[in-house]
Amino acid sequence: MTTGDPKEERLQIGEVAARTELSIKTIRHYDEVGLVTPSARSAGGFRLYTAADVDRLLAIRRMKPLGFTLDEMRELLAALETVHAPAASKSERAQALTYLGECHARAREACDKLSRQLSYARELTAQLADYRNE
């Protein structure tokens, strides 16, 4: 009960979890909320994922620590698809690029904040190293 190119590699959810470092539970949740839908199902009903599905999950994994909500992730993924869609109009591409630019600015701010937090954590770790029982 598969669809698409039969030669394309299809991975079961456990393999996808290992490749993406996401839990099976998280991948199922993303399926339930419509962020990533498996490209096919096996005859036994198992979810089967393609390389494109894995890429989408990796993109989501990158968005999460930057504070994007599920709806924002959905919109960002749609904008990325629009930019690369041959059938997208000039206007649709322009709108998608504008949104991606806004996301870039927000991601940069979040990265700066995370860098500062990591710096603070390293400072504390260095300070606490003086108190090791070795």
Task: Give pLDDT, residue 33.
Answer: 94
Q: Which residues pair with 49 in a beta bridge?
A: 11
**Do residue 49 and residue 79 come from a single domain?**
no
CA Rg value for the chain = 19
Q: pTM of the entire structure?
A: 0.82
Could you tell me if 47 and 13 are in contact, meaning their C-beta atoms sit under 8 angstroms apart? Answer: yes
Give domain status of residue 1, yes or no: no
Task: Give pLDDT, residue 2.
Answer: 44
Task: Give pLDDT, residue 132.
Answer: 83
Identify the CATH number of the domain in which residue 20 sits: 1.10.1660.10
Residues of the chain with pLDDT under 50: 1-2
H or E element that contains 57: helix 51-63
Give domain status of residue 31, yes or no: yes
The domain of 98 spans: 67-133
H or E element that contains 80: helix 70-84
Could you tell me if 72 and 99 are in contact, meaning their C-beta atoms sit under 8 angstroms apart? Answer: no
Task: Give pLDDT, residue 1.
Answer: 42
Is the alpha carbon torsion for 104, 102, 59, 97 positive or negative? negative
Q: Which residues contact 15 (CB under 8 A, 6 or more apart)?
A: none
Residue type, 70: L
Q: Which residues contact 52 (CB under 8 A, 6 or more apart)?
A: 39
**Do residue 80 and residue 28 come from a single domain?**
no
**Do residue 76 and residue 113 come from a single domain?**
yes
Question: Considering its fold, how many domains does the chain have in total?
Answer: 2
**Do residue 78 and residue 113 come from a single domain?**
yes
Task: Give pLDDT, residue 134.
Answer: 59
